[in-house]
Amino acid sequence: MELVIGRVAKSHGIRGELAVDIRTDDPELRFAVGAVLHGHKPREQKLTSYTVEAAREHSGRLLLRLRGVDDRTAADAIRGMLFVIDTADLPPSDDPDAFYDHELEGLEVRLADGTPIGTVNEVLHSAAGELLSVRPEGQPSGEILIPFVTAIVPVVSVAEGYVEIDPPEGLLDPE
Protein backbone atom coordinates (compact mmCIF):
# COMPACT_ATOMS: atom_id res chain seq x y z
CA MET A 1 0.00 0.00 0.00
CA GLU A 2 1.26 3.47 -0.83
CA LEU A 3 1.58 6.19 1.78
CA VAL A 4 1.91 9.81 0.63
CA ILE A 5 4.83 11.61 2.26
CA GLY A 6 4.66 14.87 0.29
CA ARG A 7 2.93 16.74 -2.53
CA VAL A 8 4.48 19.20 -4.97
CA ALA A 9 2.47 22.39 -4.45
CA LYS A 10 4.22 24.62 -6.99
CA SER A 11 7.50 25.62 -8.54
CA HIS A 12 9.66 28.14 -6.70
CA GLY A 13 11.93 30.52 -8.57
CA ILE A 14 13.50 29.95 -11.99
CA ARG A 15 16.05 27.25 -11.16
CA GLY A 16 13.65 24.34 -10.76
CA GLU A 17 13.06 24.34 -7.02
CA LEU A 18 9.80 22.81 -5.82
CA ALA A 19 7.62 23.87 -2.90
CA VAL A 20 6.47 20.63 -1.25
CA ASP A 21 3.71 20.16 1.32
CA ILE A 22 5.04 17.67 3.87
CA ARG A 23 2.87 14.72 4.89
CA THR A 24 5.34 12.74 6.97
CA ASP A 25 6.50 12.94 10.55
CA ASP A 26 10.13 12.41 9.49
CA PRO A 27 10.91 14.88 6.67
CA GLU A 28 14.62 15.05 7.58
CA LEU A 29 14.95 11.36 6.71
CA ARG A 30 12.50 11.11 3.80
CA PHE A 31 13.75 14.25 1.99
CA ALA A 32 17.45 14.10 2.92
CA VAL A 33 20.05 15.06 0.32
CA GLY A 34 20.76 11.92 -1.71
CA ALA A 35 17.41 10.28 -0.90
CA VAL A 36 15.56 8.73 -3.83
CA LEU A 37 11.93 9.79 -3.98
CA HIS A 38 9.26 7.87 -5.87
CA GLY A 39 6.29 9.83 -7.10
CA HIS A 40 3.31 9.92 -9.41
CA LYS A 41 0.63 12.38 -10.42
CA PRO A 42 -2.80 11.88 -8.79
CA ARG A 43 -4.85 9.16 -10.51
CA GLU A 44 -1.75 7.85 -12.30
CA GLN A 45 0.05 4.65 -11.33
CA LYS A 46 3.40 4.99 -13.08
CA LEU A 47 6.09 5.85 -10.52
CA THR A 48 8.95 8.16 -11.43
CA SER A 49 12.13 8.36 -9.33
CA TYR A 50 14.01 11.52 -8.37
CA THR A 51 17.15 12.09 -6.31
CA VAL A 52 17.14 14.96 -3.81
CA GLU A 53 19.99 17.42 -4.49
CA ALA A 54 19.03 20.05 -1.90
CA ALA A 55 16.31 20.62 0.69
CA ARG A 56 15.47 23.58 2.91
CA GLU A 57 12.50 24.87 4.89
CA HIS A 58 10.76 28.00 3.60
CA SER A 59 7.48 29.52 4.90
CA GLY A 60 6.08 26.28 6.27
CA ARG A 61 6.96 24.25 3.19
CA LEU A 62 9.97 22.30 2.11
CA LEU A 63 11.87 23.58 -0.92
CA LEU A 64 13.46 20.75 -2.89
CA ARG A 65 15.86 20.66 -5.76
CA LEU A 66 15.75 17.35 -7.62
CA ARG A 67 18.25 15.92 -10.09
CA GLY A 68 16.94 16.46 -13.62
CA VAL A 69 14.53 19.24 -12.65
CA ASP A 70 16.69 22.20 -13.66
CA ASP A 71 14.30 25.02 -14.55
CA ARG A 72 10.85 26.41 -13.89
CA THR A 73 9.32 24.61 -16.88
CA ALA A 74 10.49 21.21 -15.59
CA ALA A 75 9.30 22.08 -12.09
CA ASP A 76 5.88 23.18 -13.34
CA ALA A 77 5.54 19.88 -15.22
CA ILE A 78 5.55 17.92 -11.96
CA ARG A 79 3.22 20.21 -10.02
CA GLY A 80 0.76 18.08 -8.05
CA MET A 81 3.09 15.07 -7.94
CA LEU A 82 2.63 12.86 -4.89
CA PHE A 83 5.79 11.43 -3.32
CA VAL A 84 5.03 8.01 -1.85
CA ILE A 85 6.57 5.17 0.11
CA ASP A 86 5.40 1.59 0.49
CA THR A 87 3.86 0.93 3.91
CA ALA A 88 5.80 -2.35 4.06
CA ASP A 89 8.98 -0.24 4.33
CA LEU A 90 7.82 1.55 7.50
CA PRO A 91 9.39 0.59 10.80
CA PRO A 92 7.06 -0.71 13.52
CA SER A 93 6.04 1.90 16.04
CA ASP A 94 7.59 1.68 19.51
CA ASP A 95 4.63 3.55 21.01
CA PRO A 96 1.51 1.38 21.54
CA ASP A 97 -0.64 4.54 21.37
CA ALA A 98 0.76 5.71 18.00
CA PHE A 99 -0.75 4.59 14.71
CA TYR A 100 -0.09 5.16 11.05
CA ASP A 101 -3.12 6.52 9.19
CA HIS A 102 -3.33 3.44 6.97
CA GLU A 103 -3.61 1.21 10.06
CA LEU A 104 -6.77 3.04 11.17
CA GLU A 105 -8.47 3.27 7.77
CA GLY A 106 -11.02 0.49 7.38
CA LEU A 107 -11.42 -0.23 11.10
CA GLU A 108 -14.93 -0.73 12.47
CA VAL A 109 -16.13 2.06 14.78
CA ARG A 110 -18.38 0.97 17.62
CA LEU A 111 -19.67 2.06 21.01
CA ALA A 112 -18.50 0.40 24.23
CA ASP A 113 -21.63 -1.82 24.20
CA GLY A 114 -20.71 -3.07 20.71
CA THR A 115 -23.25 -0.97 18.76
CA PRO A 116 -21.76 -0.42 15.28
CA ILE A 117 -21.37 3.20 14.21
CA GLY A 118 -19.49 2.87 10.92
CA THR A 119 -16.06 2.45 9.35
CA VAL A 120 -13.02 4.73 9.45
CA ASN A 121 -12.79 6.15 5.94
CA GLU A 122 -9.69 8.30 6.49
CA VAL A 123 -7.72 10.23 9.08
CA LEU A 124 -7.87 13.99 8.65
CA HIS A 125 -5.08 16.19 9.98
CA SER A 126 -6.14 19.69 10.94
CA ALA A 127 -4.65 22.53 12.93
CA ALA A 128 -6.89 21.52 15.83
CA GLY A 129 -5.75 17.88 15.76
CA GLU A 130 -6.62 14.61 14.09
CA LEU A 131 -10.15 13.60 13.14
CA LEU A 132 -11.48 10.21 12.13
CA SER A 133 -13.72 10.51 9.09
CA VAL A 134 -16.28 7.75 9.61
CA ARG A 135 -18.69 6.42 6.99
CA PRO A 136 -21.91 5.69 8.92
CA GLU A 137 -23.08 2.08 9.17
CA GLY A 138 -25.47 1.10 6.37
CA GLN A 139 -25.12 4.37 4.45
CA PRO A 140 -23.34 4.56 1.08
CA SER A 141 -22.44 8.20 1.69
CA GLY A 142 -22.23 10.62 4.56
CA GLU A 143 -19.56 11.35 7.11
CA ILE A 144 -19.20 11.64 10.86
CA LEU A 145 -16.11 13.47 12.12
CA ILE A 146 -14.79 12.13 15.40
CA PRO A 147 -11.94 13.87 17.23
CA PHE A 148 -9.14 11.33 17.63
CA VAL A 149 -8.45 11.97 21.32
CA THR A 150 -8.30 9.45 24.17
CA ALA A 151 -11.37 10.89 25.91
CA ILE A 152 -13.54 10.09 22.85
CA VAL A 153 -11.60 7.15 21.36
CA PRO A 154 -10.40 5.22 24.43
CA VAL A 155 -9.76 1.90 22.66
CA VAL A 156 -7.98 1.19 19.37
CA SER A 157 -7.39 -2.43 18.43
CA VAL A 158 -5.74 -2.68 15.05
CA ALA A 159 -5.24 -6.42 15.55
CA GLU A 160 -8.97 -6.99 16.17
CA GLY A 161 -10.06 -4.42 13.57
CA TYR A 162 -12.01 -1.89 15.62
CA VAL A 163 -11.98 1.40 17.48
CA GLU A 164 -14.29 1.96 20.42
CA ILE A 165 -15.72 5.42 20.97
CA ASP A 166 -17.33 7.18 23.91
CA PRO A 167 -18.94 10.15 22.13
CA PRO A 168 -20.11 13.23 23.98
CA GLU A 169 -23.79 14.06 23.64
CA GLY A 170 -24.66 15.32 20.15
CA LEU A 171 -21.54 14.09 18.35
CA LEU A 172 -23.40 11.34 16.49
CA ASP A 173 -26.62 13.35 15.88
CA PRO A 174 -27.08 14.19 12.19
CA GLU A 175 -28.44 17.64 12.97
Average pLDDT (145-151) is 93
Residues 98-109: tens digit of each pLDDT: 888 888 999 999
pLDDT of res. 2: 80
User: What is the C-alpha separation between 164 and 155, in angstroms, rounded?
Assistant: 5
pLDDT of res. 125: 77
In a domain? residue 94:
no
Which CATH number fits the domain that encloses residue 44? 2.40.30.60
pLDDT band at 59 (very low <50, low <70, confident <90, very high): confident
Which CATH number fits the domain that encloses residue 113? 2.30.30.240
- Greater pLDDT, 78 or 97: 78
| Host domain of residue 58 | 2-89
pLDDT of res. 175: 63
Residues 63-92: tens digit of each pLDDT: 999 999 999 999 999 999 999 988 777 777
Same structural domain for residues 76 and 141?
no
In a domain? residue 175:
no
In contact, 82 and 38? CB cutoff 8 Å:
no
Query: DSSP character for 72?
Result: H
pLDDT of res. 67: 96
In a domain? residue 96:
no
